[in-house]
Amino acid sequence: MSRYTLHEAPNGVALATPDGRTVFHYLTEVPPDSGLAANSACCFYPLLTPSGQDVVEMAPDDHPHHRGVFLTWHSLSSGRCRADFWGWDEFAPTRDRVIVNRGIDATHADADRAELRIANDWLAGGQAMISEELTVGVSEARNAYVIDLAYALTPATDVTLDRAAFGGLCAKCRKDGQATYRNSRGVVTLDDPHYLTPDTGWPSEPWYSYAIALKDGSGAELAVIDRPGNPPTLWHNLAPISMVNPCIVAPGEVALAKGQTLSLRYRLVVADGDLDAGWLDELARDGM
């Protein structure tokens, strides 16, 4: 019986559908020709629609530290050090701060669904600051991939995720074509949030999406669903850089005690054409 398959790919692994279409690559190493300014990859790039359209980009000229879909922050504090794993290098150091992959396994694969386990260590000066365990579930429905992400982040020492306007899960979408943000009520026309002012983030919503009308007449849409149980969130959805970012540190800092696991769950929906808002509402309510 045909099933989802996980196989080695340049600088990481790739997940393919039972009929051989690539869903995404998960990069464990920085591609040498990518121009990525960050020390770490550990991201989903490319991330494709069922027809093969890429919806994200890597290391654009204006933000060369951004990479596909990734999760980290640019300002973390502990008694030992401060760290920027995002790659901005403005409020905390990036030198010797790197996320290192320590394993990827397919824990389940059949004709309908794949499940992966990804383990990463966030190292500062060669010492573990946070241990990351990421569970990924993938299925296909309604001409879209539905990708469930469950992060478990466990600090090796007391760590504070400092308050900031952006950070956490980020989808760096492609910038070509005509793009709009949407939520369950339709097109969103809020002012752009400011990258230094956390209170300017967009209001909490179950989901926002980024819809792209491409020059060849086709279209693609990426929705990010903020799952119930996540900490309070404002969204840093910034049109000039095509970014979708549910930010748990915009309302305030998040303090984690040594050994205290922070659990974060998100759902990505990656589609050809336009997504149905009612269906996204259902996916936001469903368990995971």
The rounded distance, in Å, linking the Cα atoms of 48 and 280 is 18
**Per-residue pLDDT averaged across 198-204, rounded?**
98
Q: Which residues contact 20 (CB under 8 A, 6 or more apart)?
A: none
Per residue in 144-187, pLDDT (tens digit) is: 999 999 999 999 999 999 999 999 999 999 998 899 999 999 99
CA–CA distances in Å: residue 216 to residues 6, 166, 177: 31, 32, 9
- pLDDT, residue 215, reads 85
Per residue in 91-121, pLDDT (tens digit) is: 999 999 999 999 999 999 999 999 999 999 9
- pLDDT, residue 1, reads 67
% residues pLDDT > 70 (the chain): 99
Tell me what the pLDDT averaged over the chain comes to.
97
- Whether 287 shows a pLDDT value over 70: the answer reads no
- pLDDT, residue 286, reads 84
Containing structural domain, residue 183: 5-285
- pLDDT, residue 127, reads 95
> By the 8 A CB rule, do 171 and 224 touch?
yes
- pLDDT, residue 216, reads 87
φ, ψ at 248 (rounded to 5°): -80, -15
Residue with tokens 């690559």: 25
* 46 cis-preceded (ω within 30 degrees of 0): yes
* Number of domains making up the chain: 1
Residue 187 exposed, middle or buried by CB count within 10 Å (0-12, 13-18, 19+): exposed
Burial track 62-98 (b if 16+ CB lie within 10 A, e otherwise): ebebbbbbbbbbbbbbbeebebbbbbbbebbebeebb
- pLDDT, residue 246, reads 98
- pLDDT, residue 168, reads 98
- Whether 288 shows a pLDDT value over 70: the answer reads no
Rama region for 186: left / alpha / beta (φ>0; ψ in -120 to 50; rest): left
**Per-residue pLDDT averaged across 65-76, rounded?**
98
What are the tokens at 146? 């539905």
CATH of the domain at 151: 2.70.98
- pLDDT, residue 177, reads 87
Per residue in 1-44, pLDDT (tens digit) is: 699 999 999 999 999 999 999 999 999 999 999 999 999 999 99
